[in-house]
Structure 1
Amino acid sequence: MKRAFAILIGVVVIIAGTVIVTHGAPGLVQAQVAADVIVSQHSEFGSILSDADGKTLYLFTNDERMVSNCSGGCAAAWPPLLIEGDPVAGEGLD
């Protein structure tokens, strides 16, 4: 009898855990992922792209797809935006 009760409790815990993971616990607000790239306003240039810390993003036209040609002093002056996983675009960006 004790074993059957323990198995029943285990099944209930597993089902409850699955429901919470897939649907969220009642009353909890799902956290939103912060955008990696956002649109910021600059007093002189208007709308610009920046990272989540407000650093302006630039395009280095000497770079190639998946190959950076900015290193050493260039990379120190213009550090790249490094993102783990898939990038997240802010409001107004695709």
Structure 2
Amino acid sequence: MAAPQLAPRPMFAGVVAVWVVAALIGVAIGVFVPEGLRAAWLAIGLGVSLLLSFAIQLAAGRSQGFIRRVAMSVLGALLAMGVISLTFGLAALFPG
């Protein structure tokens, strides 16, 4: 008698975790970094998100769909940071 195959764990939580961290990084950059240096710091923040996504997906220990999960993590982080930087850019154009 063979042991039943275990259902694979959902891996979407690691992807969403990277998105949340990227959003927090984007807000922190928008609040604490001067306007002239925000673009450079956003690139650094995206690099941190990439490294974090690799670390989370490697810690999960599943090779199936690894590239897809990392790509979804980084693309979501890029979109989150892009929306946040667009918001801060529009806020700078139209001061209250």
More strand by share: 1
Q: TM-score range by the shorter chain?
A: under 0.3
Larger-Rg structure:
1
- TM-score normalised by the chain length of structure 2: 0.25
Task: Give the alignment's TM-score, normalised by structure 1.
Answer: 0.25
Relative contact order (C-alpha < 8 Å, sep 6+): which is higher? Answer: 2
